[in-house]
Amino acid sequence: MKIELFYAPVTCAMAPFISLTEAGADFEVHALNFRTNEHLSPEYREINPKHKVPMLIGDGKKLTENAAIHLWVANTFPEAGLIPTDPWDQVQAISLLSWCSAGIHPYLSRINNPAKVCPVDDTGAAIIEKATAALNECFAIANDILDGRDYLMGDFRAPDAYFFWCIRRATQFKLDMSAFPNVMSHFERMQTRPSVQKLLAFEKETIEGFKRAAAQAENVRLRHLLAGPFPRIFA
């Protein structure tokens, strides 16, 4: 089976990268540069009108949305145990994935770009304040869930990959996470997993590659500029 993952550094596409790696899947990654709006290009819009990541293609069939992608990975690689086999535990896993997607992720997006959801002042401070309060409530709930547990469902499951991204994004926004020690223990624990270490190394390599490409493009632009023609200043 040919599996392709459309991904961008820092984004929630990190989550299926982790799960695919945990499953031992052989997959190809297409890294998009959001800083150059590569996800908004006609080429990407043609294959994904939502122009978001992650998008997964399995044997030519396209799938978007994190919860759905994780369910597909779990069903395709059942031996990895990404979602439990017990029916009740299965729906609990889907509930947690949905919570990350709909209950936590949107508030992180509001902090990242307040102007995307409504008119704001110069800083969007009011939106950021309200989004932070909502996130604190979510992380408090997660902190209780993780009391006495290493992972959200006891053992590592698919929701842990998505929740890891949620925590990481919160820390990147410098949110005060000191009130959620169990959440931060989960974050540290996840970083010891080989799948996450592979992801973080790939992310670093990808970002460095984007920087090199940008520098090369700037050098080409300057060479063309210096090559003239220049206007005559003196007769």
The residues spanned by each domain of the chain are 3-80, 87-190
Q: Which of 161, 211, 157, 208 is nearest to 187 (CA)?
A: 161
Look at residue 121 and tell me whether its pLDDT is greater than 90. Answer: no
**CB atoms inside a 10 Å sphere around CB 16:** 30
Q: Are 22 and 71 in contact (CB under 8 A)?
A: no
Helices (H) and strands (E) in the chain, counts: 9, 4
Q: Measure the CA–CA gap between 36 and 32, rounded to whole angstroms.
A: 9
37: left (phi over 0), alpha (psi -120 to 50) or beta: left
**Mean pLDDT across 216-230:** 74
Q: What is the CATH number of domain 3-80?
A: 3.40.30.10
Q: Measure the CA–CA gap between 211 and 118, rounded to whole angstroms.
A: 32
**Mean pLDDT across 43-50:** 97
pLDDT in tens, 70-87: 999 999 999 999 999 999
**Mean pLDDT across 145-165:** 98
Q: Please report where in the chains the tokens 């704001």 appear, as a residue.
A: 120
Please identify, in words, the CATH class of the domain defined by 87-190: mainly alpha
Q: Are 62 and 3 in contact (CB under 8 A)?
A: no
* Six-digit token string for 33: 């540069």
* Six-digit token string for 71: 């369910």
**CB atoms inside a 10 Å sphere around CB 137:** 13
How many degrees, rounded to 5, is the angle at CA 3 between CA 34 and CA 195? 75
Q: Measure the CA–CA gap between 178 and 201, rounded to whole angstroms.
A: 27
Pairing state of beta strands 61-64 and 55-58?
Answer: antiparallel
Q: What is the pLDDT of residue 235?
A: 46
**Mean pLDDT across 99-126:** 90
**Mean pLDDT across 147-156:** 98
Query: pTM of the prediction?
Result: 0.92
| Peptide linkage before 54 cis (omega within 30 of 0) | yes
**Mean pLDDT across 162-181:** 98
Q: Are 26 and 71 in contact (CB under 8 A)?
A: no
What are the backbone angles phi and psi of residue 99, rounded to the nearest 5°? -65, -45
Look at residue 42 and tell me whether its pLDDT is greater than 90. Answer: yes
Q: Please, which pLDDT band fits residue 197 given cuts at 50, 70 and 90?
A: very high
Q: Please, which pLDDT band fits residue 232 given cuts at 50, 70 and 90?
A: low
Buried b (16+ CB within 10 A) or exposed e, 178-199: eebebbbebbebbeebebbeeb
